[in-house]
Structure 1
Amino acid sequence: MKRALPGTETVKAAIDTVLAEAAARGRRPTVTAIERLLDIPHATFHRHYADLIDVHFRPRIPALARPATPTEPSGSDVRTEANLSRLRKENTDLRRTLALYEEAIRQLALENERPAQRRHRSSTAPPQQARATRAVLNATPSRRRLAWIRSLGVALSRLPVIKGS
């Protein structure tokens, strides 16, 4: 069962109420506040009352006051910037680590798909490569992973330790 939509005068009164409350609290009035006051979903409100928003609400929103001159950054701004910089660097490092682990997992998955082909191929490989392949195939799972990582030329100290492994 559909509820009846409020009339234009009711919506204008709600807009006036939201504008007055926002001014009293020192906050910016929002269309969402009007929708909540009227208990109307966002899409329905915009579908039926878009003209009232444009004509009766938006022109009456006070402009935000901006400082005329740039101010010195406060201590909290400096800390925030330092924290953001640290987080960006950490994010970059984690992305690099993730790429290394993705490649390691991909390689291990390929090895597990074709173990018989690997063993057969290792006997026809050049001696140095055959030794390296045998070392990888005969190693325990953790040694196999380490041997593969060494073959990539990645320093183990650059790889972080994953907790729980």
Structure 2
Amino acid sequence: MTDSHLADRVAALVRDVPDFPKPGILFKDITPLLADGATMRALVENLAGRHRDAEIVAGIEARGFVLGAALAHELGVGFVPVRKAGKLPGDVVGRAYGLEYGTAEIEVPADTPARGRRVVLVDDLLATGGTAAAAWDLLESVGAHVVALEVVIELQELGGRAALGTRDVRAVLSV
């Protein structure tokens, strides 16, 4: 599937949900995309084609887990979850960040297998860039070499790519 055809398929499968999780937010729901086997497979193959040299994949909670684990499987590498604070057992390293509708904190295991490895970071959506930048910075703070951020959807008007500076950011669909 060509990149433009994949973007068209993704666009057709993303559902807009107004006022979720808070009034004024237009949530981009990828659940229909996840349920479409052919498009999901094409998406994962597309991402894998760009990252054959990755040594591990990290996914941002929660939809980044689904996409990241599928990508890790396709690449034959491990997966590291970047979780919301308080969700991981044992020693953790965390980072607080701002959202378009509040603040949050994410964590990874202090003994993460990402240390010293080439990491592809995955999430479903890039909005303001706060979550992605915090995840990237957090992984690098524990010794990972993050090589790229892959997202399914980029909301261009919110400036997330600019917030990430010169980092390698790729989106299947930009709206």
The TM-score, its normalising length taken from structure 1, stands at 0.23
Q: Which has the higher strand share?
A: 2
Higher relative contact order (CA 8 A, sep 6+): 2
Q: Which has the higher helix share?
A: 1
The TM-score, its normalising length taken from structure 2, stands at 0.22
